[in-house]
């Protein structure tokens, strides 16, 4: 992530799987809803299924993830607890870079990353409530609450 950020003057960010983005609920309500998930959401793993690129700024270069059903259920439960519509479609992914120029880092790099990452698993071991938004500079994104999954 840092290498692509440096190479393309792209923003640096913490690795994450977004369950719900741009939530407009009060932070205390969001933290309370996340805490309520702890009883039903254990630490889990996700399998990397492919390396992908799109023209979307926030999905410029990323790893598609196959997630456990408990994570998808937790996402649905979280939206219900916050009384917000469940955004669809849900494409679980781990971003590697935001805002890369069109076609970068290129098919050769994507192919090389595929050999390196596809089939590997990552551990999903915490829930973070992050002050972030598309209209907020990425270097201003801040975790305001973290819960470790057991």
Please tell me the distance from the alpha carbon of residue 11 to that of residue 101, in angstroms, as a whole number. 13
Predicted confidence at residue 78, as pLDDT, reads: 95
| Backbone phi and psi for residue 66, each to the nearest 5 degrees, phi listed first | -95, 115
DSSP state of 38: T
CATH superfamily of 2-148: Cyclic phosphodiesterase (3.90.1140.10)
Domain-wise residue ranges, the chain: 2-148
Please tell me the distance from the alpha carbon of residue 84 to that of residue 14, in angstroms, as a whole number. 25
Tens digits of residue pLDDT in 33-49:
999 888 889 999 999 99
Tens digits of residue pLDDT in 57-99:
999 999 999 999 999 999 999 999 999 999 999 999 999 999 9
Please tell me the distance from the alpha carbon of residue 126 to that of residue 108, in angstroms, as a whole number. 33
Tens digits of residue pLDDT in 10-37:
899 999 999 999 899 999 999 999 998 8
Contact between 80 and 41 (Cβ < 8 Å): no
pLDDT at 9 over 90: no
């Amino acid at each position: 992530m840092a290498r692509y950020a440096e190479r393309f003057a792209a923003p640096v960010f913490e690795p994450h799987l977004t369950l719900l983005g741009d939530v407009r609920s009060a932070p205390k309500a969001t933290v309370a809803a996340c805490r309520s998930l702890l009883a039903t959401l254990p630490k889990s793993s996700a399998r990397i299924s492919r390396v992908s690129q799109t023209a979307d700024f926030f999905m410029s270069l990323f790893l598609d993830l196959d997630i456990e059903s408990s994570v998808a259920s937790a996402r649905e439960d979280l939206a219900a607890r916050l009384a917000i519509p469940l955004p669809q479609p849900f494409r679980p992914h781990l971003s590697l870079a935001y805002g890369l120029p069109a076609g970068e880092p290129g098919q050769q790099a994507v192919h090389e990353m595929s050999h390196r990452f596809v089939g590997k698993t990552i551990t999903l071991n915490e829930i973070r409530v992050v002050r972030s938004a598309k209209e907020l500079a990425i270097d201003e994104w801040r975790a305001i609450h973290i819960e470790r999954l057991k």
